[in-house]
Amino acid sequence: MRRITCLALTVLVTACGGGAPTQEEVDAARQRVERVVAASHQVRGALEALGVLPVYTCGEPRRAFLSTAAHDVRKRWACARAAVEPHDSVTDRVVLTFDEGGCDVHGLRFAGQAAFLYRGGEDLMEVEADLRGLTVDGHPLQAEVGYGTCGDETRLWADVQGGVPGRQGHTFRVDGRVGMRAGMPVIGGTSLVLDGPGELTGPHGTDRLTLTGLHYEVGEYLPKEGTAVLETADGRRVEARFQPVLWRLGKAEVTVDDLEPVTVPIVR
């Protein structure tokens, strides 16, 4: 599994003065940040799966839109296919299936099957996707995601939970939202901005998690920028601020409680 291996380094840069964290505190913070990154990567994967099908075009009859969208999936992704089924008088179901060998989508590898429900149409469309039959990068994707559009606002959400990849005995849950940025596609584009609260649970209790503006570029495991804050079960506060530097180079500024921040270089 991909990891923030550079966070295993000793303190590289700290602000001048006293209050620097100990190496033990740095190591504990590194482990927590690695778990946050692994969990948020799963949430990002759920939202990328939602973007395999195009966003509904307001004003178009639901069935006509879905027929075209299902046909175009195979053109866009040779390793995926979609089938449309009537669900009820106002809802159609789309079953999205990836080939047995898996399918690479925006730098992630999907396998399995997902079910999408499209409810409404033209003036208001609600889309819900059950992704619990999918794996992302070999890990089960326990997620339900969706969006609403054509009304007063566009809303996107992701309820994702499961085991933290590569961390036996650790689980997570994130109630994620996709942030809106001018000029940035909502879903299915090359960038994604994730916000939302969550939890990380392990042998030592449950940590509260807050993700703010985690900006992912296509094909990258680590966020380009944004903030993740953990309020730990043992009363500590760990904040990781991701910032771009040059192209695929970046840095994570990690702060434990009110101690001096530790700045670590990363390669996304």
pTM for the predicted model, two decimal places:
0.83
pLDDT in tens, the chain (268 residues): 444 444 443 344 444 344 888 889 988 998 999 999 999 989 888 888 888 888 888 899 999 999 999 999 989 899 999 999 999 999 999 999 999 889 998 888 999 999 999 999 888 999 999 999 999 988 888 999 998 888 666 678 899 999 998 898 999 999 988 765 544 445 666 678 889 999 999 999 999 999 999 988 877 888 999 999 999 999 999 999 999 887 667 888 999 999 999 988 776 5
Q: DSSP letter string over the chain?
A: ----GGGGS---EE-SSS-PPPHHHHHHHHHHHHHHHHHHHHHHHHHHHHTTSPPP-TTS-HHHHHHHHHHHHHHH-TTEEEEEEEEETTEEEEEEEE-TT-EEETTEEEEEEEEEEEEEETTEEEEEEE-TTEEETTEEEEEEEEEEESSSS-EEEEEEEEEPTT-TT-EEEEEEEEPP-TT--SSSSSEEEEEEEEEEEETTEEEEEEEEEEEEETT-SS-SEEEEEEE-TTS-EEEEEEEEEETTEEEEEEEETTSPPEEEEEE-
